Amino acid sequence: MENLRPLKLTVMFSLTPPGGDVYPFDAAYCRHGVGVKCSGLIGCRVNPLVARIFNEDAGPNWSKLHRAASKRAKDRTAFRGRLRARVWEKQKRGLAHMHGVLSVGQPAELAWAKAYVEALAELAPRYGFGFVDGWEKISRKFWPGGQAGAYLSGYFVRGAGHKAPITENVLAGDLPRLVVYVDRDLTLRTGCTMRNLRNARRVWAWLNGFIPDPRLDGWDELIAVCLLDRKSVPARGP
pLDDT tens digits along 58-71? 999 999 999 999 99
Long-range own/partner contacts, residues 143-147 (CB < 8 A, 24 or more apart): 143/9, 143/10, 143/11, 143/12, 144/7, 144/8, 144/9, 144/10, 145/4, 145/5, 145/6, 145/7, 145/8, 145/9, 145/10, 145/84, 145/103, 146/1, 146/4, 146/5
Give the confidence band of 175 by pLDDT, cuts at 50, 70, 90.
confident
Which pLDDT score, from 0 to 100, does residue 230 have? 63
Which pLDDT score, from 0 to 100, does residue 165 have? 59
130 or 231, higher pLDDT? 130
106 or 2, higher pLDDT? 106
What's the rounded Cα separation, in Å, for the pair 38 and 31?
Answer: 9
Enter the pTM of the model: 0.84
Which pLDDT score, from 0 to 100, does residue 176 have? 84
Q: What is the mean pLDDT of the chain?
A: 88
Most confident range, picked from 24-28, 33-37, 66-70, 189-193? 66-70
What's the rounded Cα separation, in Å, for the pair 111 and 98?
Answer: 22
Task: Say what percent of the chain tops pLDDT 70.
Answer: 89
Which pLDDT score, from 0 to 100, does residue 238 have? 35
